[in-house]
């Protein structure tokens, strides 16, 4: 059989380019007209700064920016984006980095947040009387915006800030004050009781929940929702709160569908070439013995990771294995090469395996190549490792019933069929010691080269 190293070399020697993914969609021009066509949809994790659009597969590609169109839509995902000129708070919102804010006075805290004017594509999360939009930037974080009817689009403000101990800040509604441990080892510092105590080298932080005030102002007609706004968690409850408001107002036009990947259940069968690697008191250096080629069968589940263009998945797999090998080790007299003794080995491992796998498809098409990696755990119902010398003696070596496996492989899918080869490296299952760290020098490992075919049912 072809060595796995050769397969990897052949696979990775192929030059891989970024894959285009033109799908059906439409754009809305500045004059309000709609043009159907194809959009290069990359399941963006971060809002695109531009999109590639063409009216047909063989037509010229246009690069469109937020300032040049009003909106665009991806049909099969029911995903909508609008163009908007907004003021965005692009500061780091994480508590992990101290941010120096200007304070107007010590009685009340007013942030002079540096808003940056920008023209962007906002993803629509909910539309109706009150619209909710989303902007994610690779360098700056996540932002949520609301718009009442056709009014101004404004960012919902939520942030944390580290504040020096000498600054007095009172806790009030929508502004939480929390203490952290003193930095000079003096213990915890509570700013509510020790404001202005400069002898304690500590800071505390506040959480500004101005977005709740913004939502309550926008939902002034539905006071019943105000209590829910008071206890909501940012950003997890935003979509639900805005949807409830639109329902009460009798106008809920759109809610972004839940992102999900392509999942599948599969069955596979094939052959495995085991290689037993062992050493003991007679064979003092590692000896690799190829076992009998045997069948392997298995079933599994793959779970596609959303917004990866169906290129990345994780999965669980169960399989049955039957591995057998025999070996005859002949020792000779060095003076005349006459055999002086012969030791026979027999190795048998039968059992089940549970694998955790990650697959990455380098290209999606009619024939899609992929690479995989993972870990497996074997449980053997039958495990034998015997050594004997003619009729003189027989030794059954105790070996572990469990084995940890490192897995790597490549494969190809064609519609629902797939072809796959793997190389699997096992752990030592003949430690033969009282303590795991105090071995006798004997060991037994099992590596495998497998070739399988399978069928996947997608759901």
Residue 113: what pLDDT?
62
Residue 33, token pair as written in the block? 């007209």
Residue 290 to residue 293: CA distance in whole angstroms: 9
Please state whether the predicted TM-score (pTM) of the whole model is above 0.85: no
Residue with tokens 């285009």: 20
Please name the residue ranges forming H helices in 185-311. 210-218, 226-231, 238-248
Residue 269 to residue 295: CA distance in whole angstroms: 7
- Judge contact between 65 and 50, C-beta under 8 A: yes
| Long-range CB pairs of 334-343, under 8 A, 24+ apart, other chains included | 341/389, 342/389, 342/390, 343/282, 343/387, 343/388, 343/389
Task: Write the CA distances from 433 to 194, 382, 400, 438, integer angstroms.
Answer: 61, 20, 11, 6
- For residue 409, the tally of other CB atoms under 10 A from its CB is 24
Residue 382: what pLDDT?
85
* Cβ neighbours for 438, distance < 8 A, ≥ 6 positions apart: none
Sign for the pseudo-dihedral over CA of 87, 93, 99, 102:
positive
Task: At 264, give phi and psi (nearest 5°).
Answer: -155, 155
Residue 177 to residue 159: CA distance in whole angstroms: 12
If the chain, 459 residues long, is cut into consecutive pieces of 10 residues, what is the mean pLDDT of each piece? Answer: 41 48 95 95 93 94 96 95 92 46 39 78 96 87 92 88 62 64 39 41 68 93 92 93 94 86 95 89 80 94 92 95 86 66 86 96 90 95 83 74 94 96 91 48 85 96
Task: Write the CA distances from 15 to 12, 298, 361, integer angstroms.
Answer: 8, 32, 14
Residue 19, token pair as written in the block? 């894959």
Residue 329: what pLDDT?
83
Residue 441: what pLDDT?
57
Residue 178 to residue 189: CA distance in whole angstroms: 10
The DSSP H or E segment spanning 8 is helix 4-12
- Judge contact between 89 and 54, C-beta under 8 A: no
CA 4 to chain centre: 27
* Cβ neighbours for 222, distance < 8 A, ≥ 6 positions apart: 245, 248, 249
Residue 164: what pLDDT?
62
CA 109 to chain centre: 39
The 3-class SS string of 375-426 reads EEEEEEEEEEEEEEECCCEEEECCCCCEEEEEEEEEEEEECCEEEEEEEEEE
- For residue 326, the tally of other CB atoms under 10 A from its CB is 14
173 closest CA partner among 209, 224, 217, 223: 209
Residue 64 to residue 77: CA distance in whole angstroms: 20
């Amino acid at each position: 059989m072809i060595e796995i190293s050769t397969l990897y070399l052949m696979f990775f020697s192929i030059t891989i380019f970024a894959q285009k993914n033109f799908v059906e969609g439409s754009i809305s021009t500045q004059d309000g007209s709609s043009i159907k066509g194809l959009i290069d949809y990359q399941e963006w994790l971060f809002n695109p700064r531009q999109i590639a659009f063409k009216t047909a597969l063989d037509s010229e590609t246009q690069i469109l920016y937020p300032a040049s169109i009003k909106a665009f839509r991806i049909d099969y995902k029911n995903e909508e984006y609008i163009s908007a000129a907004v003021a965005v708070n692009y500061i780091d919102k994480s508590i992990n980095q101290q941010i120096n804010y200007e304070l107007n006075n010590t009685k009340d805290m007013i942030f002079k947040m540096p808003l940056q004017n920008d023209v962007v594509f906002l993803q629509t999360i909910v539309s109706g009387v009150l619209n909710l939009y989303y902007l994610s930037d690779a360098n700056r974080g996540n932002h949520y915006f609301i718009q009442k009817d056709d009014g101004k689009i404004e960012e919902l403000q939520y942030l944390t800030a580290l504040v020096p101990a000498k600054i007095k800040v009172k806790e009030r509604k929508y502004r939480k004050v929390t203490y952290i441990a003193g930095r000079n080892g003096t213990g915890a510092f509570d700013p509510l009781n020790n404001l202005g105590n400069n002898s304690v080298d500590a800071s505390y932080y506040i959480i500004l929940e101005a977005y709740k005030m913004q939502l309550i102002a926008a939902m002034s007609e539905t006071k019943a929702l105000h209590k829910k706004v008071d206890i909501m968690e940012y950003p997890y409850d935003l979509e639900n709160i805005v949807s409830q408001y639109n329902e009460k107002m009798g106008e809920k036009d759109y809610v972004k569908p839940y992102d999900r990947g392509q999942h599948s259940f599969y069955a596979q069968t094939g052959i495995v070439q085991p290689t037993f690697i062992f050493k003991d008191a007679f064979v003092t250096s590692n000896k690799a013995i190829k076992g009998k080629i045997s069948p392997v069968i298995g079933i599994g589940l793959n779970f596609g990771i959303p917004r990866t263009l169906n290129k990345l998945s994780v999965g669980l797999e169960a399989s049955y294995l039957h591995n057998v090998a025999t070996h005859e080790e002949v020792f000779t007299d060095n003076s005349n090469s006459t055999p002086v003794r012969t030791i026979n080995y027999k190795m048998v491992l039968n059992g089940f395996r549970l694998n955790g796998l990650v697959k990455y498809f380098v290209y999606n098409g009619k024939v899609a190549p992929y690479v995989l990696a993972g870990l497996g755990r074997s449980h053997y119902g039958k495990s034998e490792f015997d050594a004997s010398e003619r009729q003189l003696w027989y030794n059954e070596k105790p070996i572990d019933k469990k084995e940890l496996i490192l897995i790597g492989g490549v494969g190809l899918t064609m519609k629902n069929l797939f072809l796959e080869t793997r190389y699997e490296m096992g752990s030592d299952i003949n430690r033969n010691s009282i303590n795991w760290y105090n071995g006798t020098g004997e060991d037994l490992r099992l590596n495998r080269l497998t070739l399988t075919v399978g069928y996947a049912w997608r759901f």
